[in-house]
Amino acid sequence: MLTAEKVAHELDGELLGDSSHIISTVCKIDAGSADAISFLANPKYESFLETTEAGVVLVKPDQALPSRNNITFIKVKDPYTAFCIILGKYFNPVTHPKGISEKCHVGGKIDIIEGLYIGEFAVIGKNVTLAKNVKVYPQVYIGDNCTIGENTVIYAGAKIYNDIKIGANCIIHSGTVIGSDGFGFALQKDGSYIKIPQIGNVIVEDDVEIGANCTIDRATMGSTIIRQGVKLDNLIQVAHNVEIGKNTVIAAHTGISGSVKLGENCVIGGQVGFVGHITVANGTQIGAQSGITKTITEENRQWIGSPILPLKDAFKAIAVYRNLPELDLRVSKLEKTK
C-alpha cells in the first residue's frame, strides 16, 4: 500500500498533512481524485492548488500553500523529477516479455541469457551480440555484426543495419532506421551522380532514447555517434558522420546535415534545420523552426530564427517586422507630401 508517508520517505521530502493518506493513482494538477498524487513544478499552474482534486501534491520547498486541510503536501527539491520517480516505480504499466519466439529467424548462434526476448518475425543476422535483458520486439531487423547492450529495448518494426553498436539501457521506438546509407553522391560532368560507398557505422552510447520513425545514417567513413544520455523525439533525420553530444535533447522534425557536431547538453526545438559541417557549442538552446547556417561558438546561449539570431535580438526584430505594414503606410504618405 502506497501512502503519503512512504512517498515522502522515498523522496526525502517534508510532509505537511495526513501521513497515512493512501495513494492509488496519479493525475495532473488540474484534475484528479482524492486517492491521486500530482505535482506543481511550473508557476503557470499555481492557481490550480486552490481547485485540484488530488489528495497529495508534490511542491517546491518555497511554494506558498493554500489553506486547504484536504490536501497533503510533500515539499521536495524538484517536484517534476520526484513525480517521475514515483510514476516509474509504482504506476508504470510496461512489463516486457521474455523468451525467444519459434517464429523469429536467427542467422547465427544466440546465447540464451537472462531476460532476453526476441519476438515473432524478428530477424537477427550473423555474429550479433545481445546482452542481458535485451528486448527485441516483433518484426525488428538486426543486421550482421551488431552489438546491443544490457536492458536495451527495440520496439516493433525498427531496423538496425549491419555493424551497428548500441549501448546499454537504450530505447528505440517503432519504425526507426539506424545505419541506412548516408546521402553521398559525386556529381559528374554529364549531370549524373555516382554513389559514394558508405562504409562507416553508427555508434549509440548508453542511456539513449530514440523516438519513432527516426533515421540515423551510417558514416561515409568512421562513425555517426549518438553520445550517452541523448534523447531524440519522433521523426528526426541524423545524417552521416554527425556527432550528437552527451545529454542533448532534440524535438521532432529536426534535420541534421552531414558532419555536424552538436555539443553536450544542447536543447533543440522542433523543425530545426542544420546545414552541414558546422559545430554547435555546449549548452546551446535553439527555438523551433530555426535555421542554423553557421558554427555556434558561444556556450549556453539561446537562439531562434532562420537564419538564427540571439534570442533577445530576434524578439526585437520580430517587433519591427510586426510594425512594417504601418511603417510602409507612413512612408507612402510622406512620399506623397513631397
Alpha-carbon distance of 79 to 3, in angstroms, equals 17
Among residues 21, 240, 253, 277, which one is catalytic? 240
Helices (H), the chain: 4-11, 79-90, 311-322, 324-336
Q: Return the bridge partners of 216, or none.
A: 178, 238
Helix (H/G/I), strand (E/B), else coil: 166: strand
- 105 has catalytic annotation: no
Q: Give residues with Cβ within 8 angstroms of 100, minimum separation 6.
A: 106, 110, 112, 116, 117, 118
Helix (H/G/I), strand (E/B), else coil: 104: coil
Q: 282: which 3 cell numbers?
A: 555546449
> DSSP for 205-266?
-TT-EE-TT-EEEPPSSSEEEE-TT-EE-SS-EE-TT-EE-TT-EE-TT-EE-TT-EE-TT-
Give the CA dihedral 207, 254, 278, 317, nearest 10 degrees: -130
Q: Give residues with Cβ within 8 angstroms of 245, minimum separation 6.
A: 227, 230, 261, 262, 263, 264, 265, 266, 282
User: Known catalytic residues?
Assistant: 240
